[in-house]
Amino acid sequence: MVIILRPDATPEQRRAVESRLRELGFQIVLAPDPPPVVMAAVGEGSMPPLEQMRAMPGVAEARRIPEPFKLASRTFREADSIVRVGNVEIGGPTVVLMAGPCTIESEEQMVRTAAAVRSAGATVMRGGAFKPRTSPYSFQGLGEEGLKLIRRVADSQGLLVISEIMDKSQITLMDRYVDIFQVGARNMQNYPLLRELGSVERPVLIKRGLAATVDEWLMSAEYVISGGNDRVIVCERGVRAYETYTRNTLDLNAVAVAKAISHLPVIVDPSHAVGVRDKVAPLARAAIAAGADGLLVEVHYAPEQAICDGQQSLYPEQFRVLAGQIRLIAEAVGRRL
């Protein structure tokens, strides 16, 4: 249930509403928005008749939240939520470009790639230090050495850092180096990890699982938000289908649906969605046209030498051309880059 107080509600009236909700067995979560006060009553409480709540002094409106993801829903927060990190706003009018290699490999790779993505218009650098590889024999990432490298290189270019976390035991270490925690598709339902990320300060980007429904994806966001961290971004990265020409299938339906039913920023990763370099740009353009708030794209200064996902990594020049096209598309849909 969401309760909106009247702008002139007194502190006593507010306390009375809150104690009534607690009596009924609910926890109260306040929307982090300017007044009027909007509060969600979540948990296993017993639902009172709405008229009863509406009749309380100081209450302007009371409604049920029909969605299972209460705090991630637009019923709770009507306006788009904007995640601010450094100078970057994710979910606002400006479309955000996050780009970089699949995995952090070397100083030369990071320096050359960072310069390229930065000059094209990216504001966040990606790169994995802990890699969830299908084979245990594949390169697993440079770990802390990689995190140090991406932090140093990103700082020298004025870029923010996003990197994947695979386990809650990595939080303390990664917190020292990254600006945004990325939860990978394979970990979308790693509930102990999501719970722990509810108590970090930094934003969390949650990729959609390989076969997750939109409800399941947003419920993963709900874990983090209900833990106390409302700086959550969701990312569509393609779902598994029957097609064999491409790695996965980009589900733009999910982007339009998530934007409609949730206030959270939605990012699209066209690289893992399609898995083929020359198909990344068309999907990236379509994603922005469909209303995505930004892109997470794999770019490598020399993709043919990449340790991981070279086949889907853009050359710097391709990324530069794409960014120019994104600028035009963003303007066409009332945004900017």
Q: Which residues bind ligand PEP (CB under 6 A)?
A: 102, 128, 132, 184-186, 207, 237, 269, 272
Residue of this chain nearest to ligand PEP (CB atom): 184
Pick one of Mn ion, ligand PEP, none as the site partner of residue 327 (Cβ within 5 to 8 A by kind).
none
Q: Which of 214, 224, 210, 213 is nearest to 81 (CA)?
A: 224
Pick one of ligand PEP, Mn ion, none as the site partner of residue 70 (Cβ within 5 to 8 A by kind).
none
The Cα 290–Cα 333 span in angstroms is 9
Q: Which of 75, 85, 119 is nearest to 233 (CA)?
A: 85
Report which DSSP code applies to 96: E
Pick one of ligand PEP, Mn ion, none as the site partner of residue 132 (Cβ within 5 to 8 A by kind).
ligand PEP
Torsion of CA 283, 214, 140, 307, to 10 degrees: -10
CB 177, CB 151: distance < 8 Å: yes
> Between 262 and 271, whose beta carbon lies closer to Mn ion?
271
Nearest distance from residue 91's CB to ligand PEP, in Å?
A: 20
**Which residue do the tokens 């004025």 mark?**
158
Nearest distance from residue 248's CB to ligand PEP, in Å?
A: 9
Pick one of ligand PEP, Mn ion, none as the site partner of residue 95 (Cβ within 5 to 8 A by kind).
none
CB 287, CB 295: distance < 8 Å: yes
> Between 29 and 250, whose beta carbon lies closer to ligand PEP?
250
- The site for Mn ion, by CB under 5 A, has a size of 2
Query: CB neighbours of 50 closer than 8 A, spacing ≥ 6?
Result: 1, 62, 63, 64
* Region of 254 on the Ramachandran plot (φ > 0 left; ψ -120 to 50 alpha; else beta): alpha
Nearest distance from residue 127's CB to ligand PEP, in Å?
A: 9
Nearest distance from residue 49's CB to ligand PEP, in Å?
A: 44
Pick one of Mn ion, ligand PEP, none as the site partner of residue 207 (Cβ within 5 to 8 A by kind).
ligand PEP
What Cα–Cα distance (Å) separates residue 337 from each residue in 158, 205, 326?
A: 17, 20, 7
Nearest distance from residue 134's CB to ligand PEP, in Å?
A: 10
CB 150, CB 104: distance < 8 Å: yes
Does position 129 bind Mn ion by CB under 5 A? Answer: no
Does position 290 bind Mn ion by CB under 5 A? Answer: no
> Between 251 and 309, whose beta carbon lies closer to Mn ion?
309
> Between 105 and 309, whose beta carbon lies closer to Mn ion?
309
Looking only at the bridges linking them, the beta strands covering 124-126 and 96-100 are: parallel
Nearest distance from residue 248's CB to Mn ion, in Å?
A: 12
> Between 41 and 206, whose beta carbon lies closer to Mn ion?
206
> Between 31 and 96, whose beta carbon lies closer to ligand PEP?
96
What Cα–Cα distance (Å) separates residue 315 from each residue in 175, 268, 272?
A: 30, 19, 16
Report which DSSP code applies to 206: E
> Between 3 and 205, whose beta carbon lies closer to ligand PEP?
205
The Cα 315–Cα 305 span in angstroms is 11
Nearest distance from residue 220's CB to ligand PEP, in Å?
A: 13
Beta-bridged to residue 235, according to DSSP, are 207, 267
Pick one of Mn ion, ligand PEP, none as the site partner of residue 252 (Cβ within 5 to 8 A by kind).
none
Q: Is 151 exposed, middle or buried (0-12, 13-18, 19+ CB in 10 A)?
A: middle
Q: Which of residues 84-103 bind Mn ion (CB under 5 A)?
A: 102
Pick one of ligand PEP, Mn ion, none as the site partner of residue 162 (Cβ within 5 to 8 A by kind).
none
Binder among 309, 314, 326, 335 for Mn ion (CB under 5 A):
309
Looking only at the bridges linking them, the beta strands covering 59-63 and 204-207 are: unpaired
- Contacting residues toward Mn ion, per CB under 5 A: 102, 309
